[in-house]
Amino acid sequence: MIRSIPAAAVTRAVAELCVKANRELPPDIVQALKQAAREEPWPTAQGTLSVLVENLSAARERCLPICQDTGLACVFIQLGQDVHIEGDLARAVDQGVRQGYEEGYLRKSVVADPLRRGNTGDNTPAALTVDLVPGDRLRLTVVPKGFGSENMSALKMLKPADGVEGVRRFVLDTVRAAGSNPCPPIILGVGIGGTFDKVALLAKHALLRPIDRPHPDPYYAALERELLEAVNGLGIGPQGFGGRTTALGVNIETMPTHVAGLPVAVNVSCHVTRRASVEI
């Protein structure tokens, strides 16, 4: 049976998710931030983390975006194969971004051309990723991505001989080079495997998973813990002013790759790692 979903329903959902994601962090991130504020041993860092927690309440109470960089709207759709969209899906998503960013008093941060610039004025287009999945449901996730952290992301085609040690070195080098720029405490999405293009998408997908849910494979769950500990040994600390809490979480996603390759990508995200989902 084919199930029909009007494009207007997608537009409405995207608009609401844009506003929600920008005002309220997901529970796993809030929890991690509060826990870090309790456990941070360095006094100035502890103070900084408390201010960040306070900012979350201020945003909620005053209906303000948590951060003024309300991001480029990354939209992920898991589209059931038995769904028929009545209308143009990509246009419906852009229309949702347009409405959400206007209604929510969110900042319009998109330029029409990477070199010639020029603000599009409505935060469109979205960065849309569609995955076909079995079933007749449509799952929408909106991830408004700020560029203070996006700019610090990096990708490298390692050699197979570099192995897990090479991955560890690249992740730490990326975080060290980012320093205070991506508004630590950060969250890292790490992609390993695939191809040049797929590994970047893996890293972004890794940021969609709650940071309190480890990788299902114990090998990678252990690597996530180990990388988090190593990053928090660098001393960068909240805002780069020094301290233990440089990162709140490290998520890894992997896929098979070529015999000759070991692609790795690190998508850096700040403490305002936003995501909101709905199923239609």
Partner 1 sequence: MEWKLTSPVDKKALAPLRAGDRVLLSGPVYTARDAAHKRLTELLDRGEPLPFPLEGSVIYYVGPTPEAPGQGIGSAGPTTSGRMDAYSPRLLDLGQPVMIGKGLRNRAVQEAIVRNGAVYLAAMGGAGALMGGCVRSARLVCWEDLGCEAVRLLEVEDLPLVVAIDSQGGNIYESGPAAYLNSLKGDN
Residues contributing to the site for partner 1 (CB under 8 A)? 42, 44-45, 48, 51-52, 54-56, 58-59, 62-70, 105-109, 117, 119, 121, 148, 151, 179-181, 183, 234-237, 239-244, 270-272
Lookup: tokens for 63: 């209906």
What is the token pair recorded at 148? 């203070």
Given the complex with partner 1, which of 27 and 235 has the nearer CB atom?
Answer: 235
Q: Is 182 helix (H, G, I), strand (E, B) or coil?
A: coil
Q: In the complex with partner 1, which residue's Cβ is closer, 9 or 187?
A: 187
For the bound state, the minimum distance from the C-beta of residue 67 to partner 1, rounded and expressed in Å, comes to 5
Our CB check for partner 1 shows the closer of 210 and 242 to be: 242
C-beta of 13: minimal distance to partner 1 in Å? 22
- State the DSSP code for 135: S
Q: Regarding beta strands 72-80 and 186-194, do their DSSP bridges make them parallel or antiparallel, or are they unpaired?
A: unpaired
Q: Nearest distance from residue 60's CB to partner 1, in Å?
A: 9
Is 55 or 257 the residue whose CB approaches partner 1 more closely?
55
Q: DSSP letters along 51-112, please? A: HHHHHHHHHHHTT--SSS---EEEEEEEEETTEEEES-HHHHHHHHHHHHHHHTT-----BS
Provide Rg for the chain, Cα atoms.
Answer: 19
| Shortest CB 237 distance to partner 1, Å | 6
CB 17 within 8 A of CB 278: yes
**Other Cβ atoms within 10 Å of 31 Cβ, number:** 15
Name which of 64 and 157 has its Cβ closer to partner 1.
Answer: 64
Structure tokens at 214: 């480890």
Nearer to partner 1, 59 or 77 (CB): 59
The count of C-alpha atoms lying within 13 angstroms of the C-alpha of 131, restricted to the half-sphere facing its C-beta, is: 12
Cα 194 from Cα 55, distance rounded (Å): 38
The nearer residue to partner 1, 13 or 45, going by C-beta atoms, is: 45
Q: Write down the least CB distance from residue 259 to partner 1, Å.
A: 39
Is the Cβ of residue 81 or residue 119 nearer to partner 1 in the bound state? Answer: 119
Measured from the CB of residue 107, what is the shortest distance to partner 1 in angstroms? 4
From the CB of 152, what's the least distance to partner 1, in Å? 9
3-state secondary structure labels for all residues of 193-256: EECHHHHHHHHHHHCCCCCCCCCCCHHHHHHHHHHHHHHCCCCCCHHHCCCCCCEEEEEEEEEE
CB of 258 to partner 1, least distance (A): 35
